[in-house]
Amino acid sequence: MTQLPAAVCFSGKSLSIIDRDGVPHLTAADLARALGYKDTSAVLRIYSRHTDEFTYQMSLVVNLTVKGFGSGNSEKPVRLFSPRGCHLVAMFARTSVAAAFRRWVLDVLEVLPSIRKTGSYTATGTLVNDDVLCAIWILCSQFKSLHETVFTNKVPQALAWLGARQMSGALYDRLLDGLHGGVGPIEKALGPQMEQAAQKVRGVTYRRFS
């Protein structure tokens, strides 16, 4: 049985994982950062306005040990949100990244317990085998290759110079979102499994995004 990762990445932001009986939770502070809020209070206000829609399994307060001044540590009450809780908060959020975050919760955060129990991602009760993991590996590899080619050859700048500024901006944003919001989290969640599958199916070494 593998452990949950200590942190996962969404859109370039590292989010600490709090393991509650094998279920990944995010702190209100990290959830606020992921959703693009400046402080934790925005998430707590959403929770307060819609408390009746959250169950104990979706959100709870625990005492976490935090580093204090000097060498001392102290315990602090912190509100946590499970994947379902994170998704519900994001449903009420009105930030520009809320929709992308909801997809990320379903695609990455919610599958972490399956990876912990089986060592592989389980979707709708079906174990994802080496062939599927290898297909994901191919997709990630091709996307990274496209990203490198586009930016090495300065394609967005060329499009802007030719007058296609809207296309230039959209291409730039989508490539970065795909890399940091897609390939990056996939590799953090499935990296070891993809490496093993690539070795078995194709006999090649997977190069992770860094």
- List, for residues 125-148, the tens digit of each pLDDT value: 344 556 666 666 666 667 667 667
Q: Are residues 9 and 111 in the same domain?
A: yes
User: CB–CB of 109/186 below 8 Å?
Assistant: no
Q: How far apart are CA 150 and CA 67, in angstroms?
A: 43
Identify the bridge partners of residue 26 per DSSP, sorted by sequence position: 81
Which of these, 64, 77, 76, lies nearest to 17 by C-alpha position? 64
Pair (109, 13) in one structural domain = yes
Range of the domain at 182: 129-210
Instruction: Tell me the pLDDT band of 35, cut-offs 50, 70 and 90.
Output: very high
- Residue 122: pLDDT band (50, 70, 90) is very low
Domain count, the chain: 2
Give me 85's structure tokens: 């809780």
pLDDT tens digits, 167-202: 656 665 666 665 655 566 666 656 566 566 556 655
115 plus 155 within the same structural domain? no
**Of 120, 139, 154, which marks where a domain is finished?**
120
* 100 shares a domain with 10: yes
